[in-house]
Structure 1
Amino acid sequence: MRVLVAEDHHVLARTIATGLRRQSMAVDLVVSGDEAERMCLCTDYDVLILDRDLPVMSGDEVCRRLRELRDAPRILMLTAAAEVMDKVYGLELGADDYLAKPFDFAELVARVRALARRAPKPSPVVLRHEGITLDRARREVHVDARPVSLTPKEFAVLQLLLEARGAHVTHQDLVRTIWDEHMDPRTSAVRATVSRLRGKLGDPDAITADTGLGYRLHSAPGLLR
């Protein structure tokens, strides 16, 4: 899942970004409304966490403009204004959800995930492939009933491969979906993450890399499910 955080309070913005990255999300940060609009025009985000009180262009105006796009991200509006009419106004502008500051981080994560599930074809909560089981809600992975501890990036890569159901996932798709905008696509980060993931799954052939096509989960004929 890719998330854009538009928040001009630098400490809060970094706290949100760090927490979401620990939940296996790719997160970009901007501090002004015009930057938020520009980033959403250039990148396909699943969710935009939008502070209402942004410099240059207000969060209200960003929300209004993005709602004119065909493929706009889901918008979670953050604000210090907690009155009912403030919430109503924000939702009427086109926000998908509204969260007043201060907020509990666990609630923020739950709301972001709920917004992402509103996509046309949401991914199942539990994904399975042969002996691999990934529970998106509990952030747990088991291989043949054995618990496997993965880093957030390893978890996100495995989830994307499971969602592809044996189809190839390109290097570019992995970078775009899992790493933020500062990641150099020419680095070996994807290859290194896949290599560690193979080791933790206990099978060097669990993930195959096909030149020019990308990565996919290995499966014996008829066993992919």
Structure 2
Amino acid sequence: MQVKVVIGTIAFMLTMMIMGFAALREPTRLQEYTHAYEGRSIETGAKIFKNNCSTCHGVDGKAELCYDSAGEQIGCRGLPLNYAPLLCGDSADRTARMNAMNWAGTKDAFIQSVVAAGRAGTAMPTWSAQYDGPMRDDEVANVVAFVMNWQSEELCSAPVITFDWPATAEAFLAEFPDADAANGEALFVTYGCSGCHGAPDGSVPAAVGPDLSNIAVDGATRVEGYTAVD
């Protein structure tokens, strides 16, 4: 009888030790599992982004280099997503679009809503199946995870680059006397200006910036005392 008691006691103690060790390891195991899950989500989102989003938003999300299905470089029609004002800071630091919408949620929730439901009046389509798009909810979440993964210390700590604009149009043109309008149009299309201001020919409407498709005529009517050149 005593032998059975001793064996039972030892077995109980060993069981408790094993369970205690497993309990101590559980937070680490769950954290590793979470990181692995997040990594797979980002990787899957990268593939979806490349196949569906990079044509408008650029291969690196900066709306600078966009290619069509044949590999030819085209103008980026979308807004930059690898972009400090969109990704950096807390929820109190909002983009102009968030403020215009009175957005009260988080930034990743904002990105999720735009990916899922698109943006009316722009070239941004709906992607979620809930809005007759081609993506499941998990695929939308993967794209959001990939976009949010661009948030980094380097991106968020980079200084804001500003340009000291000359006071008058004459001073500006004098500073850049060899300006080339044709090259300006190419740069406008290539570097994604049309994502905010619309296409030069008016085929794509302005999204968040003023419409510049007819600025040579309309410019003189927007601010009293200013010519279209001003």
TM-score category (smaller protein): under 0.3
Q: Which protein has the larger Cα radius of gyration, Structure 1 or Structure 2?
A: 2
TM-score, normalised to structure 2, is 0.23
* Structure with greater strand percent: 1
